[in-house]
Amino acid sequence: EVQLLDSGGGLIHPGGSMRLSCAASGFTFRSHAMNWVRQVPGKGLEWVSSIVASGGRTFYADSVKGRFAISRDNSQNTVYLQMNTLRLDDTAIYYCTRGRYGDPKSEFDYWGQGTLVSVSS
């Protein structure tokens, strides 16, 4: 059974840093692109970042480029999102998602349960 377990969220002050983790199991992790998607509670979905299966290429939304960094450890079946210089408008539930294929341009066929990041002074 495919499982994605998101963790690392919490309350953080503006300008602070936080690292999210997503532990994957139940599939061949190194064969799939991985992504982060966020959602302000009660609002729409926003793609944040993607990393190809090998980890060799990464992609970001303009809203987080230069502040966030996605990475993966294919030996530990884990994907990370390092978030720096956090802003109030980064407050959201962050979901780890699996891409069907190795490239980010594919459907998100599995989602983690989400981890809430609250940026507040």
Partner 1 sequence: DIQLTQSPSSLSASVGDRVTITCQASHHISNFLNWYRQKPGGVPKLLIYGVSNLETGVPSRFSGHGSGTNFSFTISGLQPEDFATYFCQQYDRLPLTFGGGTKLEVK
By the rule CB under 8 A, 9 interacts with partner 1: no
Q: How far is the CB of 1 from partner 1 (least distance, A)?
A: 13
By the rule CB under 8 A, 114 interacts with partner 1: yes
CB 59 within 8 A of CB 112: no
Distances (CA, A) of 12 to 62, 78, 104: 22, 23, 29
By the rule CB under 8 A, 73 interacts with partner 1: no
Separation of alpha carbons 108 and 28, rounded Å? 15
Count CB neighbours of 52 within 10 A: 18
Residue 82 or residue 110: which is nearer to partner 1 going by CB?
A: 110
Q: Is 80 exposed, middle or buried (0-12, 13-18, 19+ CB in 10 A)?
A: buried
Q: Which of 7, 82, 106, 118 binds partner 1 (CB under 8 A)?
A: 106
How many residues sit close enough to partner 1 to count as binding (CB under 8 A)?
22
* Sign of torsion over alpha carbons 83, 84, 90, 91: positive
Q: Which of 1, 13, 44, 56 binds partner 1 (CB under 8 A)?
A: 44
Give the range of 13-21, 74-82, 84-92, 98-106 binding partner 1 by CB under 8 A.
Answer: 98-106
Give the range of 12-20, 22-30, 37-45, 68-76 binding partner 1 by CB under 8 A.
Answer: 37-45
* Residue 7, CB-side half-sphere exposure with 13 Å CA sphere: 5
Residue 38 or residue 72: which is nearer to partner 1 going by CB?
A: 38
